[in-house]
Amino acid sequence: MPCRYYCWTLILLSLNCATFSPRRSEFEKGLEFYQQADFRQASQLFRSYYVKHPDSDTTLYYLYDCYRRLNQPEKEITILEQLAKINSKDENVYLKLFYYYRKTARYKNLYKLLVHLTPPIKDIFDKHYALTKMLYAEIITGAATKSEYSDPIVFTASNGYLPIFPDGKFYGNDTITNGNLIILLDRLIDPIYPQNFLGMKNLSDHSFLYLPYMRLIHLGIIEFDPELNPDEYASITMAVKAVANLKSRGLFD
């Protein structure tokens, strides 16, 4: 993700322009080693300074970059999690965590990350990433109580959360449309008859998707969108919220 690293470099350069007290702190000493490319020594000083000054998110940015340059991904994740915990406004924090959690198969962490995203960060996710079958499987796996060490494909297929094609393949890279998501969610709930039927701009009440969609609305699984287009790609936000609502009903326990 070179473009994102470039953005982080700009952030660090701008932070470097800040003024400090005349007395040299561990942060300033760490900054000197950082500028000398001694990232190991710099990281130790930044860490020591942060323990004493936990409100210094500037230190976390430098510490993250040190660990990145030292190729210590586990420590990178820890720093990113700390930044997310203090509600960093930097989208790269969450995008990088998303990447790391998927790469290291930490699906529970992935699910929690996506559930707690707030605007405008979640809008950025919907713009950057498509909801593929694999990602949807990973979200469900992360939401489920007894799936910590499960393969997403095996777990979701064996529990009936996602279907396998007749040829026995999963096709995890396939992108899920709104229509696909309606069907996938509807197969997980009881076939009740909804109380209300609402008019929609892009979905006829004669469509085979109309009744399932109204059922999901009636049960509070998804929010009503009168302009929803079944042929457009479904958003990560919509899928995560639906899975969270199903989880609250005890589906994935």
CB neighbour class for 6 (10 Å; exposed up to 12, middle 13-18, buried from 19): exposed
Length of the chain: 253
Mean pLDDT by 10-residue block, N- to C-terminus, for the chain (253 residues)? 57 54 79 96 95 92 96 96 94 96 95 95 94 96 80 90 80 92 95 91 94 96 96 97 96 84
Look at residue 242 in the predicted model and tell me its pLDDT: 98
Q: Enter the tokens of residue 61.
A: 């940015």
Look at residue 4 in the predicted model and tell me its pLDDT: 59
C-alpha 189/C-alpha 187 separation (Å) is 6
Q: Which CATH number is correct for 2-103, 3.40.630.30, 2.130.10.10, 2.60.120.10, 1.25.40.10?
A: 1.25.40.10
According to CATH, where is 1.25.40.10 located in the chain? 2-103
C-alpha 83/C-alpha 77 separation (Å) is 10
Give this prediction's pTM: 0.86
Look at residue 150 in the predicted model and tell me its pLDDT: 75
251-to-7, 87, 235, 242 alpha-carbon distances in Å:
41, 30, 21, 11
Look at residue 108 in the predicted model and tell me its pLDDT: 95
Q: What is the 3-state secondary structure (H, E, C) of the chain?
A: CHHHHHHHHHHHHHHCCCCCCCCCCHHHHHHHHHHCCCHHHHHHHHHHHHHHCCCCHHHHHHHHHHHHHCCCHHHHHHHHHHHHHCCCCCHHHHHHHHHHHHHCCCHHHHHHHHHCCCCCHHHHHHHHCCCEHHHHHHHHHHHCCCCCCCCHHHHHHHCCCCCCCCCCCCCCCCECEHHHHHHHHHCCCCCCCCCCCCCCCCCCCCCCCHHHHHHHHHCCCCCCCCCCCCCCECCHHHHHHHHHHHHHCCCCC
C-alpha 104/C-alpha 102 separation (Å) is 5
